[in-house]
Amino acid sequence: MVSSRGFGVFVLVVAILSAVQNFIVNGIGFLDAYTGSAFGCGHEWFLCNGQVVPSLEALEKSLSMFIEFMHRVGVPILTVLLLVSAVGALLRYRGWREIPLFVGLSIFFVLLEAVLGGLAVVYNEPASVIATHFGVSLLAFACTVLLAIYVRRAERVYGEYVATGVKLPLRDAAPSAGFRWFAWLGVPILYLDMYIGAYISSSGAGDAFRGLPFPTESGIDFHHALLLDWVHRSFALFLVLWMIALVMWTNRMKRERPDLFRGALFALVFVVLQAFSGVYLITSHVSIQAFMLHVSIVSGLFVSLLFVAFQSVPPFVPVSSREALDLGRERTAH
């Protein structure tokens, strides 16, 4: 059963569904935050205004209750999908250390996200804590996507492992240490910028942002908006330049490591789109369309950069021969 091709396809499909459901849950959570619906079920968790499942009449009358309840319903669906994919992946691919790593990280961050969401509802947490919740939600999404990616890579070499007993690596030989440092350093820089953006959104300061390309709002506006605006825009410009440098670096090793080049190219596209969505956010005075677009694009950007960083790590499975390396590259190139 575990070694059958059908089981491998099942695990991959459920892993992909977990990542999709995580994106949906995060999207509803972002909508929840924008519309101020976090307390649509009151300061209660797991109950919603004293009920496990609110009546249809109550949900129809209150949009905030409907949004918050849909967000809560999405979490257990995500949990079930993630646990099924995690168990299946561990049964079939536990010999590759990437799989237990991302199974553990996915479950940890999804559970942490749920706990922080519950605490935010019960205790009316400040903007800094809500921003942390946003950051954890992106980590959870990124880990579920990477779990699906590495399940797909493991499935590509699983047949060879069953036939020959040779465990091929899920990544090719690592690039230079300088590149690894550069790729990994971009992750906390991006994460810090995302945290600043989430804090701006949670504090309501974004509505005070004015002026393009330079801020023109008054320095006395609420929540230190001018300072936050300058910092956020500076980070955005810095990240665009960082992704351009990343693409140029990976372009030089495109033949040996096309995976790194593709990941860097995706990161560059997402960071440019993120910059334009930021402009749209300011010109529309934080419209709901601009807000949802902005937070959705940053999810893709974070996943792309984290993928490049992890792909730059040396293979966990040692490569015993040139033939094995060539076969592994052929199986995991896509």
Peptide bond into 46 cis (omega under 30): yes
Lowest mean pLDDT among 12-26, 42-56, 66-80, 108-122: 42-56
Task: Kindly report, residue by residue over 40-96, the tens digit of the pLDDT.
Answer: 777 666 677 777 777 777 776 678 888 888 888 898 999 999 999 999 999 999 889
- Local structure of 254: helix, strand or coil: coil
pLDDT of residue 322: 43
Task: Kindly report, residue by residue over 290-316, the tens digit of the pLDDT.
Answer: 999 999 999 999 999 999 999 999 887
Do 162 and 191 reside in the same domain of the chain?
Answer: no
pLDDT of residue 219: 58
Residue with structure tokens 């499942």? 53
Do 157 and 213 reside in the same domain of the chain?
Answer: no
Do 61 and 35 reside in the same domain of the chain?
Answer: yes
Cβ neighbours of residue 216 closer than 8 Å, sequence gap 6 or more: 210
Decide if pLDDT at 221 tops 70.
Answer: no
Task: Kindly report, residue by residue over 171-212, the tens digit of the pLDDT.
Answer: 888 899 999 999 999 999 999 998 888 888 877 777 778 778
pLDDT of residue 32: 83
Task: Kindly report, residue by residue over 231-272, the tens digit of the pLDDT.
Answer: 888 999 999 999 999 999 999 999 989 999 999 999 999 999
Do 246 and 329 reside in the same domain of the chain?
Answer: no
Do 35 and 117 reside in the same domain of the chain?
Answer: yes
pLDDT of residue 311: 94
The interaxial angle of helices 98-123 and 5-35, nearest 10 deg, is: 30
Q: Which domain holds residue 274?
A: 174-313
Do 263 and 149 reside in the same domain of the chain?
Answer: no
Q: What is the mean predicted confidence (pLDDT) over 314-327?
A: 56
Cβ neighbours of residue 208 closer than 8 Å, sequence gap 6 or more: 217, 221, 222, 223, 225, 229
Do 61 and 190 reside in the same domain of the chain?
Answer: no
Do 20 and 158 reside in the same domain of the chain?
Answer: yes
Burial of 61 (C-beta count, 10 Å sphere; 0-12/13-18/19+): exposed
Do 214 and 84 reside in the same domain of the chain?
Answer: no
The helices-and-strands tally (H runs, E runs) of the chain is: 10, 0
Q: Domains in the chain: how many in total?
A: 2
CB atoms within 10 A of CB 140: 25
Helices (H), 36-171: 56-61, 63-93, 98-123, 127-164
C-alpha to C-alpha distance for 194 and 188, rounded to whole angstroms: 10
Task: Kindly report, residue by residue over 141-155, the tens digit of the pLDDT.
Answer: 999 999 999 999 999
